[in-house]
Amino acid sequence: MSDLPTPESLLPHREPFLLVDELTELVPGESVKGIWHITGDEYFFPGHFPGRPTLPGVLMVEALAQAGACAALVDERFKGRIPLFGGVNNVKFRRQVVPGETLELEVTFAKIGSRGGRGQGTATVNGEVACTAELMVVLVEA
């Protein structure tokens, strides 16, 4: 059992929009690794796509952002704040993600301060890159 906090203890997100199941590594204000188990029971699969369920790319980016938010919110400097998207750049989708796979999330901040930050996110499945993105975050009062 991990001594890391749970995503729901840090994030304001809740089902069905909590997209990080577990944190596996966490350095406050610097980096995070986490996982999202794609079960196939998620609300969007019946419509994306019927007969060929595929994880929407935008939800991979959101999962990376939620993981990154965990690294920010566990830092004492950012208690009482909510991280919001400030921007997303250079998003690349490299492979489809389907039910039964585990999306491994990794975000490293290049810069983060009281007003926001910038980081690099990578989502992989079994070591294969599914998505990369530069994430910008704005930290607002809760």
Picking from 60, 64, 14, the residue whose alpha carbon sits closest to that of residue 34 is 64
The verdict on whether 37 is a catalytic residue reads: no
Active-site annotation holder among 6, 24, 30, 48: 48
Q: Quick check: helix, strand or coil at residue 41?
A: coil
> Within 13 A of 41's CA, how many CA atoms are on the CB side?
5
Distance, CA of 58 to CA of 67 (rounded, Å): 14
86 touches 136 (CB < 8 A) = yes
Q: List residues with catalytic annotation.
A: 48
